[in-house]
Structure formats: structure tokens, C-alpha cells
Structure 1
Amino acid sequence: MMIKYIVKHTQLAEKKVKSTIQLLNDDCTIPFISRYRKEVTGNLDEIQIADIVKYKELFEALEKRKIAILKALEDQGVLTEALKQKIENTQDLTTLEDLYLPFKKKRKTKAETARKNGLEPLAKIIMSQKANDVESIAYKYVKGDLSSVEEALEGARHIIAEWLNERTDIRNNLRHQLERYAQISTKVIKTKKDDEKAQKFRDYFDWSESLNRIPSHRLLAILRAESEGFIRIKIEIDDIRALEHIDNRIIRSKNACADQIELAISDAYKRLLFPSLSKETLNNAKEKADDAAITVFAKNLKQLLLGSPLGEKRVLAIDPGFRSGCKIVCLDAQGALKHNETIYPHAPKNDSIGAIKKISSLAEAYKIEAIAIGNGTASRETEALIRKIQFKNETQVFVVSEAGASIYSASTIAREEFPDYDVTVRGSVSIGRRLQDPLAELVKIDAKSIGVGQYQHDVDQTKLQKQLDIVVEYCVNAVGVNINSASKSLLSYVSGIGPKLAENIFEYRTEHGVFKSRKDILKVPRLGDKAFEQSAAFLRIKGAKNPLDDSAVHPECYAIVKQMAKDEGVSLQDLIGNKTTLKKIDLKKYVSESVGLLTLQDIITELEKPGLDIRETAKVFTFNQNIKTITDLHEGQLLPGIVNNITNFGCFVDVGIKESGLIHVSNLSDSFVKDVNEHVHLHQQIIVKVLEVDVARKRIQLKLHK
């Protein structure tokens, strides 16, 4: 059942799905499976494997719900064989809940009260649509708490309304109409119209749009405006058409019964069906919007984490500020803190001369190769100051995103790393380390705090976290980790490791010194054969005796590489990087039951450039020095900028001032843009044209200049 369910939703071959499920059940990770078990899965990539994991979990959740429902029905004594089969064969959670709805324990309802008053037989008579004198029949039920025929008929209609609400065909028909034709409209709450916080939502003070066509970002904005109490939301369809659809399914006569049923249909629709299913439809639309927003965030995070590293260079990092001064730290090539202090080059102290002298002397004393300046308050002024300095050695200057640095500086991780320093020093260190290696530093920060998504705090947080963890895990394992210098945070994302083993590795390294070979990894407490199998090839050891320990070749294939070297008459060291010799190797000679051509081809690719970082090297970028504030912008200007966020409706660009400008999706290209990521990527250096500047609303409209 599970395999068929996954195949149906992923459209992948059954054999591939079955093999992948087996590996997952054997506690293999997605990075390990996609990289080192290609023959087993038929060369599925990490996205396809993640889809299998997703639908495996959905199937398991569905099965768990089935078991709970079947037990509840059995306990009630209402589980028939036919109902049991229907439930067991259901492959959809909505259908499953509809099947359970008639038996679900409800709070006190009007229909329940009517049943207690003995009106269910009357409801059945009306639904039979055979009686002509309904009032005379209803008179027989006027007793106890019922004092009139109308009360009896009303009670019977409440029971009928509940029956109608529980009919799957009626619910599905109304769902279909809501999915296709529902309109979402908004109205501002009059008392909040002039609220300053409400102004960012003023486009939605009076808005109407088809629910199935509304872009994800707009729906999330509208829902946020509602949750903050600025607007009211309404879902609408053509009520007359919806009621006609129900009438045509139920009413088969033209007598008094039909009149009562028509009243019951109207009541069921307004009181039960529409409120419930319109809410369900809005929730479904919200779920789709969440998925779209999460996808955007995941793409952005992946690009950010795989951002260009400067590498092992000595860095002077500056967290700029005015009144509180600029916090300076000097880091060695491995990111260790060597010096920190504060300078005051800007107002109110304006000690620019003293600041220049201090930075010059520090650059010389610590042999600084690059300067990293945080892009927050006083960033442009600090950059201008640095560019005046004539350094004795070649020194590159970079402006680095500060997003999330304050979160890191106050975190437990930061306190563990720098227990004797305050948050300002930790923040500056984070800025410098981001330049050296963005991935190694950013994994220490909650991804939601990095600020590269759209409405990430409004989406399903569990689903978001799960997707972001997958992205971080992919990036860490795609790059590989130096086990002798990696932080616990970075190690925890390595395939097969996790937080506890990461801590064990860190403690072992602290106690015993650096790992000299991959075999040494097995000495780490509680790191067994399975964890070693999953993690070893992603953990690199620089300067190891065996050069393969600093490559992506898995230890299980070392013997094959050694045999290749022997067959070619060269040493292992001479084989690595020798493209001429590697291209001559007949890979078919090394194919076995456990190792196929796909794995062998990966080995050759890795041996050509062992341990090659897949990321590009960081490049210096300079903003237009004449642009300091939004008032310096005017229509028609061409400016250099850096893409700092990507959404479904366009991308935001840093042009060197506090406010980022927006290139709307329509201004990315002269032709239709299906995916923003096909035209720009995060941290890309581009040229933009200023289209419009709204100083009052602090909005800048840009166009991508080709």
C-alpha cells in the first residue's frame, strides 16, 4: 500500500521507491543515499528522495488516523464490514474524515436536541418525500418540550440538515465549487483605518480576488492583516447556484415534504456546510501559500548557505555604529579571535583620524588580508572611511550581511564559544567569519532569523523547520566539513551525526587533539559503524597520511582506488589529480555487485579535483559612493546592487542605502517570468535602473538592467 501511494504521488518507478524505502528504513540519510547509493536507487537525486520521505510520512500519518478512527467506531459498536473496507481503502485524509463525520462525537447540537424530543421518525418521513399532509403527521409529535407543529417541523429539519451536512457527495460538490469559484474579499475595520501600523496593509483595505488565483504572498499578507486586527476577510460563492446543486440531488417531489426539505437545505448550507467548507477551503489555500513561501525560503537559504567564501584569510571585522562606536575584531585565518576594541570615527565623537590610525596599525600587526563591514547602521560611512586608508599590504574590503548576527551573539552557542566577551564582540566575530565561510557561520543561527524569505513567520512552523533542516543538511554535506576545525553546530548537520555525536566529536577532539585519519573517527564514543558509514565521506581531514581522507571518496571504495593506482602503475598520491591517467581508466573492470558505473564515475570526478569546494570565491563589490539615502535616488539612474532577497513576486536589491529596492517580477525581463530564480540569484551583483521612488512610503521600484 505504501509503495503504491508514494508512486502515485511522486510518479517515480516502483522499484526505485521500494529500494529507497529500504535504505531509509535502514537509517540511511538523504545525502548519503543520493551520493553513495546511486545504483540502489536508480540515480535518484536528493529532491526525489526527499519527496519519497515526505509521502512516506504522509502515508504513515494517514494509516495512524485510520487505526484511531476504526477503534473509535468499534468502541461505539457502529463499525460494519462495508464501512471498515471503505476506511481501509481510503487514500485521502479529507475523504477519511468525511466517512467518520456522521459518527464523530459532537458537542450538543440542534439535531441532537431534536432526536431527544423523538423527532427522528418525522425527519425520515419528510425525507421519504411521500407524505402530502406533513403538518398533520407533525402534530403527533407535539408533546413534552414541544408546544407546536412548527417546533416539531423545525426540529425535524435540524436532523435533516445534519444528515445533509454529513453526506460525502454534497460536501464534495460544494468543495468543488469553492475550489473553483470562491472569491476572497476584505474590508478595513473602520476604527483601524488610520492606524500607523495598518498602513502597510492599505492595499487590502477593500480588496476582492479569486481565491484559487491569489498569489501566495498576497494571501499571506491578507491573513496577517486580519490576524493583526486591521481587516475582515470574507469567502463568497454564488449561493443560489450552490443551493440548486443540493436541491437537485435531494428533492424528487413537489409536495409539502419538498418544501420542508428545501428549508432544511438552506439551513444546512448557511449554518453547517458553508461555514465549515469555506474555512476548509481557506485553510487549503493557506497551506498552498505556505508551501510556496517555504519553497521560496528554502531556495534562498540554499543560495545563502552556498554563498561565496573568502576562505582561510586573516580578517578584520567591523560592526558599525554611530554613538556606540564601531566594534572591531581581528580574526586569524581559521576564525579565532585575536583582538577586539571599539573606535569612534562617526558622530558624535567624529574621531576619524584616530580610527584610521588604529585600523592601519591593527591591519599591519595582524597581517590582515580582508576587511568585513556589517551592512547595518553606519555601514556606508564606515566603508567610506576604510577606503581612505592606504594599507601597506593588499587588503580587500567587503560589506557583509548582518542578518541574524544579533540572534547569534545572544545565543547559547555564542556564549559557549566566547564566554568572556559581550554580545557586541560576538556579533563582530560573526560578521568576520561569515566572510571567511558563510556556511560554517550561518548554521549556528536559526534559519528563520536570517531574513531571506517571504512571510516566513506566518507559515506552518513545523513544516518550515523540517524543510529548512533538509536544506541546511544538503548544503553542509554538499560542501563537506573539516572535522578538525568545524563547530558543533556544523558537525551536527553532517549525515549520520546529529547534535549528540557532534558534541562527542568536539569533546574527543578537545581531549585527544586533531583526527589524523578517518579511521580515528571510530574512536569517538558512541559513534558506531552505521554512523561512520553515513558520515565518513562528508568529514574531511586536511593533511592526512591517506590523501583520500580529504576527498569525497567513501572509505568503502578506498580499495578500488588503490587497485586503480596499482593497475596504472602509479602511486595513490600520483593518481589523484592526474586527469590524463584517470581518463584512460576502463571503469568496467571495477564494476561489482556493490559498486556500479555511476559510483565509479563519481570517484573519477572526485579524484580529478579532490575536495574541491563547489562554491565560488567571494568577490569585492562597490556601491555607488554618491548614494547615501533614499533622497539621493531619482528616476532613470543606473546603479550597482546586490540581490538580498528573492520572493515569488520579484527580488529585493541592496543599492547601498537603508531601504532595499524591489524589482517586480514584471521588471526582471521583457518576456514572461515563470521563476524569479531563473533570472537572479541571492547575493548576485547586478545593475539596476531606478523606475520610481516613493520617499514617504520608503519604497523603491527597480528594473533589471541587461
Structure 2
Amino acid sequence: MIKYIVEHTQLQEKSVRNTVELLNEDCTIPFISRYRKEATGNLDEVQIGEIVKFKEQFASLEKRKNAILKALEEQEVLTAELQQKIANCTNLMALEDLYLPFKKSRKTKAEKARQNGLEPLAKIIMSQNANDVESIAYKYVKGDVDSVDAALEGARHIIAEWVNERTDIRNQIRYQLERFAMLSTKVVKTKAEDENAQKFRDYFDWEENLSRMPSHRFLAVLRAEKEGFIRVKVLIDDTRALDKITQRIVRSQNACAEQIVLAINDAYKRLLLPSLVNEALQIAKDKADASAISVFAKNLKQLLLGSPLGEKRVMGIDPGFRTGCKVVCLDAQGQLKYNETIYPHPPKNDSIGAMKKISSLADAYKIEAIAIGNGTASRETEALIRKVHFKNDVQVFVVSEAGASIYSASKIAREEFPDYDVTVRGSVSIGRRLQDPLAELVKIDAKSIGVGQYQHDVDQLKLQKELDVVVENCVNAVGVNINTASKSLLSYVSGIGPKLAENIFNYRNEHGAFTSRSAIKKVPRLGDKAFQQGAAFLRIKGAKNPLDDSAVHPESYGVVTKMAKDLGNSVSELIGNSEQLKKIDLKKYCTETVGLLTLEDIIKELEKPGLDIREQAKEFTFNQNIKTINDLKEGQLLPGIVNNITNFGCFVDVGIKESGLIHVSNLSDAFVKDVNEHVSLHQQIIVKVLEVDIPRKRIQLKLHQKKV
């Protein structure tokens, strides 16, 4: 296993071995990457994630090997040579090729020919020594074989199966597919004018090299095929492929050779090509899935680590026209204090009454910021709020509503707000997203947040697994206030999980706030292992021991106490004291288990304990003259916010219903390898309008300037 992982990751063997040992001890990725740096050689969570991936891949390969060996033993066909070949296999494809000749189905044409006694004839033809094949075939005309032609056809079916089972031939076709395969599409004529088909118009008659096809385009083509708008074919040069096979098998020019060539053609069209084309498409799909999942994971990470406003009193507004705007007032901890509905827009048009209500609520609840959802009536509501004269300084933000409706109808929301309807819950979610995006977004299934490309078309299990890892890494990178965190947030803390999160939540409700990290051990079923994995990611504000509100692990408290004592300080006096911290000779505190990497982390944390790695939220204003796509003109410069990133560019909210696209070629004058190197999710930028296609509701933009 270690060799396999090292070959695939190119990481140091010692690092891999130690990491695997820690994983086998049920240590989590965040814990290993942060608190076991000496053991791993300072691997980060991405590298440890790769080790986990290939560890699981190796386990799946071994499981399949064992299943195949068992099947071969039952068939009594397992030889020492075959067993060795299976043992040496390092990929699933080669393993399945080895098993293919023994994976018989009784319904095949070859099997039927065998049952009719035609295998000896097939062997004679394959020897390529006989000239009068028909005379030999005549001897096999009996029973269900009623003619010489039927005998020869049956023999060819057996030969075709032999050709199909040859690993060298399968690999030769794979090579052709890998290098030269073209993916070709044709529109289904009866569907060409369908309104839903228009978004796939670019792929109605399309041809492209399969191996060079970008993931987003491949997934778009597959979706168009799935919805019945196009037909897809994979094409290679059949003549070249058949010549390559023939050269490997045919070594004479007699009647046997003629039969073998016919069998090769049959094997190629009926067995090899359909099977290997499906395999090539699956490989391309896996590659496209991996690319799309990677994009989603990067976007989700940026979204979860989005700028929080922090513990401030917030008014959340879910805007709407006919049904009004749902308004909630939240305290600094996100608790709902008041809710109301106002009707400033058509059909009621009570803008004056709405402005008075907003002003009086802001004053009564000492509101410091307003969060407006970015859905229907968002721009109109923002314009209204900006006309209100507040007594105190109130910041105004437009917040993404993505997934808010999913949350408001969820079990989590019903538990949090059993006495309120979905509209109130949605407004609360909008307000809380401004206070702390991470704490609120973890309550929503990551797939519902909508920051990816073709997320519904990729392998859902792989997507869910990857996104869960991203959420876990983000939660633990930021840390969690154990006395205010929801069950959802607590469940992502290293080593905790949903059941212990519920126990922590219930214990807190019953016994009040935790006053120390050691008190966490009193939670039912939270044992030493869970405490070791999770304690350092759980923060306790105002604790007697200031280290309880830091990322210093409890196992290192003794080291910090010794450092303080050696300097003649208390731990409290040492925290934030840069001059004293600089005096510490770290080598003096190194032990077998605590090395320089860990000690350097401790010093960084003592300088600024519990520091939030996220930037603080900044106010932003769209161009107030741009209300719809019809207001856009080529050449305009507009403020915008990046609201989605894909492999082919990024989408930007310029304050109207439709998002504009900055194609990858318009992000920079130089070549762009990775979109994420140029923009990040929710980044405030200035864009230039290049093109506006009103019928197709498409806006082409260029990155003009990044806002600081």
C-alpha cells in the first residue's frame, strides 16, 4: 500500500507511512495536518487528502483482486502464473483484462459455438496451416450446425472472442482511442427547434478530439445527449485499427487467413470497439467529473471562508414584490429578536411606510448592518434602504440567497425556529450569512449552494465526499466557539460528528456554557480520542485559561506554561507579547514528540491567539442606473461581484438578474492557466462590457480592475 501511494503522490515514503499509521488510528485530516507535522513532514490537508484517496483506491483494488482470485479458484482455472500476474496488477483496467477470458456468459455466440463442438475447428483455423478449410469444416456439420457456412461462422465467433480477450490488442485499441478518438455529435432533427435545446445549440453538429475536450464542454455534450437533443458517437480510423490487429495475428495468405480477417472485423465491430469506446467515455467522464468537482470544491472553500461581518446586530431582508419583503432583526449572536413584513414595491407601493418601519426597527434594535438577499426585488429594495435616514451609521450589504430556501424548509431550520414559517427562517439565514457565512452555510447541503459547474451531472457520491472534506477543513481552519455553535457547525469539528455534536448541544443547554476545554470531557460518549482530535478546534471565550480560546492543543499547554515560567511570566502575560516571545529558544523545548514545526505554530498562535483567518466583510454598491440587461451598453465599466468560478471563466453579478461571463481569455492579456489565480469568489471587481446578447440573455465581460 505504501509503495502504491508513494508512486501516485510522489511524496516521501516516511511521510506517507506515518500518515497512514495516523489515519489507521482514526485521526482526522485537520488534526494530522495541524498537530502532527513532525510525523508527516509538514504535509498539508490537500496532500493528506491525496494519501487518503490512494489508500482507499488501493483497498478497492485489493478487494477486487480477492474477488477475482476466489472466482478463478471456484472455476479451477487459477494457475501460479495467473495468480502472480493478478498480484502484480496496479490498476483496475489491467486486472479486468486478465479476468476477461474467464468471465463467461452462456449466452454469447462463442459459447453457443463451443456447445456445438466448433472449438477444434477454430483452433485449426488459428493455426493457419490448412488450405482447404471448407473440407475440414464439413466434418463439423452435425446437430444444430446445418451447413459449412454455419460451421465456419461459429468458429469465427470463437476466434472473435479470443481476439477480444487479448490484452495487447485491447491496449492497442485503447491507445488509438486515447490519441486519436474524435467525439462527434448530430442534432436530433425533431428536437432542433425545442426551446430547451437552444442552450446546447453550439453542440448540434460538433466534432472534437476526445482527449483534448475541456471538462465543461464534455459534460454539456453528455447532458444534451441525456436530454435527447443530440446523438453522440466516438470515431477512430477503423482501417488503421483493423490493420494493427491483423498485423499481430495473421501470418499467412491462405483460406485460414481469410476466415481470421473476417473474425477480426467481427471482433472489432461487435466486441472490442463498443466495449472500449464505453471505457474511453467513462475515463473521459471520470476526468471531467474530477475537474468539475475540483472547481466546486475550490469555490465552496472560498465561499465558506468568505468575509464575516462578525458579532454585530443585523437586519436581514428577504426581498419580494407581491408577497412583500420579510424583515428580521438579529442580535450580535444571530438570535431572532423581531420579524415583520413590509410592502414597498408593487402592487402595494407603500415605500414611505416601509422606510419609516425600517428606520424605527434599526433604532429600536440598534442595528449596525443590513443584509439584503440578492433574489427578486433585490435592487429595488437596496435602492429603498439607501434612501432611509438612519440615526446611526448602518452598513448595507447584498448577500447571496443561494440555498436559503433549502435551509428554511429543512429539519435544522424547523428545530431552530419551530414557531416561524419558511419566509422568516429564510430572512434569518440571509442575516446570519452576513454575520458569519461559514456558521450559516454548513447547515445547507453544499450541493445546493450552486457554486460549481454541472454539479448535477457528476458522480454524486464523489462530489459529496469531496465537499464534506472541504467543509470539515474550513470549519477547523477557522475554529468554533463551542458555546454559540449550532449542531451543524459542531458536527464538522475534527473527531466530533453528528451524534457527539448533538450531545455537546444538549449538554450545553442543560448545564450552561462550557468554562474550560477540560469540561468538554464531561459530555456523554465524548472519550479521549474525540477530545484529542477536536479540543484544539473548539474555542472557549473568556475561559480562565487563555489558551482555551486559541489553536494551541491541550497536549501542548505544559510546553507553553514552561516557556512562560522560564521567562518569569504567567501564560496570560506571554500571550500577545511579541518581545517576550522572540526571546524563546525553541530548540530548548524540543522533545521526541514536539518538534520545531509544532513549536513555531505555537509561537504564531501566542502572538495572535484565536485570530480569524478570514477578512472582514466590506460594503459594496452596484451601479444604480443599471436595472436590467437592456440598460447595458458595450464599453461600459461597472462594479461587480464574482459569484461563480468555472474552468472556462467566472460569472459576475453586476446587479441585474443575469450574471455576466468573463471568459478565461478576458481575465488577462497573458495566458490563464487557472481562473482561481486571477479572481476569487465574492471578490469585488470592475468589469468592462464587451457584448450583450439580449435574446439569449448573455453578457460577455472583461476584467478591468480588481478592487482592493
Give, as a single letter, the amino acid of the residue that structure 2 aligns with 1:92.
Answer: N
Q: In the alignment, does 2:72 pair up with 1:73?
A: yes
Paired residue type of 1:183 = M
Q: Does 1:464 align with 2:463?
A: yes
Counterpart residue number, 1:604: 603
- Aligned letter for 1:388? K
Match of 2:166 in 1: 167
Q: Please name the residue that 1:20 is paired with.
A: 19
Amino acid at match of 2:223: R
3-state DSSP of counterpart to 1:622: coil
Q: What SS does the corresponding residue of 2:161 show, helix, strand or coil?
A: helix
Determine the structure 2 residue equivalent to 1:677: 676
Aligned position for 1:296: 295
Partner of residue 217, structure 1: 216
> Which AA in structure 2 matches 1:699?
R
Indicate yes or no: 2:613 matched with 1:614. yes
Please show how residues 360-509 of structure 1 align to structure 2 within 5 Å: 360-509=359-508
**Partner-residue secondary structure (3-state), 1:180:** helix
Question: Residues of 1 paired with 2:455 and 2:203: CA distance?
Answer: 20
* Structure 1 unaligned residues grouped into runs of 5+: none
Deviations 1:371-412 (A, max 9, x none): 000000000000000000010011000000000000000001
> Is the contact made by 2:630 and 2:694 (CA closer than 8 Å) also made in structure 1?
yes
**Correspondence for 2:199:** 200
Residue 348 of structure 2 is matched in structure 1 by 349
What secondary structure, in the 3-state scheme, does the structure 2 residue paired with 1:702 have? strand
**Structure 2: how far apart are the matches of 1:547 and 1:629?**
53
Amino acid at match of 2:121: L
Q: Does 1:4 align with 2:18?
A: no
The residue number in structure 2 matching 1:182 is: 181
In the TM superposition, what is the alpha-carbon distance from 1:36 to its structure 2 partner? 0.2
SS at match of 1:173: helix
Match of 1:576 in 2: 575
Q: Which residue of 1 aligns with 2:48?
A: 49
What secondary structure, in the 3-state scheme, does the structure 2 residue paired with 1:206 have? coil
Letter in 2 for 1:459: V
SS of the residue 1:125 aligns to: helix
Contact residue 686 and residue 704 of structure 2 kept, 8 A: yes
C-alpha deviation, 1:370, in angstroms: 0.3
Q: What amino acid is aligned across from residue 118 of structure 2 in structure 1? A: L
Alignment map for 1:489-638 (pairs within 5 Å): 489-638=488-637
Distance (Å, rounded) in 2 between the aligned partners of 1:600 and 1:105 = 61
Counterpart Cα distance in 1 of 2:439 and 2:106: 53
CA distance in 2, matches of 1:438, 1:586: 39
Question: Which digits, 9 at most, give the CA deviation of each residue in 1:173-203, with x for residues without a partner?
Answer: 1001101100001011111111111110011
Distance in 1 of aligned mates of 2:660 and 2:392: 36
2: CA distance, partners of 1:107 / 1:545: 75
Q: Secondary structure at the match of 2:615?
A: coil
Q: Deviation of residue 80 (structure 1)?
A: 1.0
Opposite residue 229 of structure 1, the aligned amino acid is G
Q: Take 1:106 and 1:520, find their aligned partners in 2: how far apart are those partners?
A: 63
Tell me, in whole angstroms, the C-alpha distance in 1 between the residues paired with 2:436 and 2:57.
37
1:265 is aligned to 2:264? yes
Deviation digits for residues 455-511 of structure 1, max 9, x if unmatched?
Answer: 011001111111101100000000000000000000000000000000000010011
The equivalent of 2:690 in structure 1 is: 691
Partner of 1:331: 330
Aligned-residue RMSD, C-alpha: 0.5
TM superposition shift of 1:264 = 0.2
Q: What stretches of structure 1 move > 4 A for 4+ residues in a row?
A: none
Equivalent residues in 2 for 1:126-141, closer than 5 Å: 126-141=125-140
Say whether residues 1:103 and 2:102 are aligned partners.
yes
Further displaced range: 551-560 or 74-83:
74-83
TM-score, normalised with respect to structure 2: 0.99
Superposed displacement of residue 341, structure 1: 1.1
The aligned counterpart of 1:153 is 152
Instruction: Quote how far apart the aligned CAs of 1:105 are.
Output: 3.3
Residue 692 of structure 1 aligns to a residue whose secondary structure is strand
Matched residues in 2 for 1:104 and 1:412: separation? 47
- Distance (whole Å) between structure 1 residues aligned to residue 411 and residue 137 of structure 2: 72
Shift of 1:106: 1.6
Per-residue CA deviations over 1:72-128 (Å, capped at 9, x if unaligned) read 111111111111111111111000001101111325011111111110000000000
Deviates further, 610-619 or 138-147: 138-147
Q: Indicate conservation of the 8 Å contact 2:106/2:112, yes or no.
A: no
Match for residue 312 of structure 2? 313
Aligned AA for 2:169? I
Cross-structure match for 2:231: 232
Hey, what's the Cα distance between the residues in 1 that align with 2:28 and 2:388? Answer: 50
Could you tell me how far apart the structure 2 residues matched to 1:13 and 1:546 are? 39
Q: Deviations over 1:308-362 (max 9, x none)?
A: 0000000001000000000000000000000001000000000001000100110
1:40 aligns with 2:39: yes
| Structure 2 CA distance for aligned equivalents of residues 546 and 526 of structure 1 | 25
Q: Give the C-alpha shift of residue 232 in structure 1.
A: 0.3
The aligned amino acid for 2:586 is L
Deviations 1:509-560 (A, max 9, x none): 0110000000000000000000000000000000000000000000000011
Displacement of 1:69 in angstroms is 0.5
Aligned pair 1:64/2:63, yes or no?
A: yes
Residue in 2 aligned with 1:640?
639
Deviations 1:207-238 (A, max 9, x none): 00000000000000000000111100000000
Identity of aligned residues (%): 81
CA distance in 1, matches of 2:187, 2:425: 44
The SS at the match of 1:670 is coil
Q: Distance in 1 between matches of 2:340 and 2:179?
A: 63
Q: Distance in 2 between matches of 1:146 and 1:567?
A: 97
SS at match of 1:212: helix
Number of corresponding residues: 705
Per-residue CA distance 1:661-699 (angstroms, 9 max, x = gap):
000000000010000001000000000000000000000
TM-score normalised by L of structure 1: 1.00
Instruction: Tell me the residue number matched to 1:115.
Output: 114
- Give me the whole-angstrom Cα distance separating, in 1, the residues matched to 2:677 and 2:11: 25
Q: Secondary structure at the match of 2:231?
A: strand
Rounded Cα–Cα distance in structure 2 between residues aligned with 1:697 and 1:674? 28
In 2: Cα distance, 1:683 partner to 1:462 partner: 27
Residue 148 of structure 1, CA deviation: 1.0
CA distance in 1, matches of 2:316, 2:412: 20
Q: Partners of 1:678 and 1:107 in 2: how far apart?
A: 56
The SS at the match of 2:212 is coil
Q: CA deviation at 1:594?
A: 1.0
Distance 1:147 1:389 in 2: 95
Q: Which whole-Å CA distance do the structure 2 matches of 1:124 and 1:607 have between them? A: 79
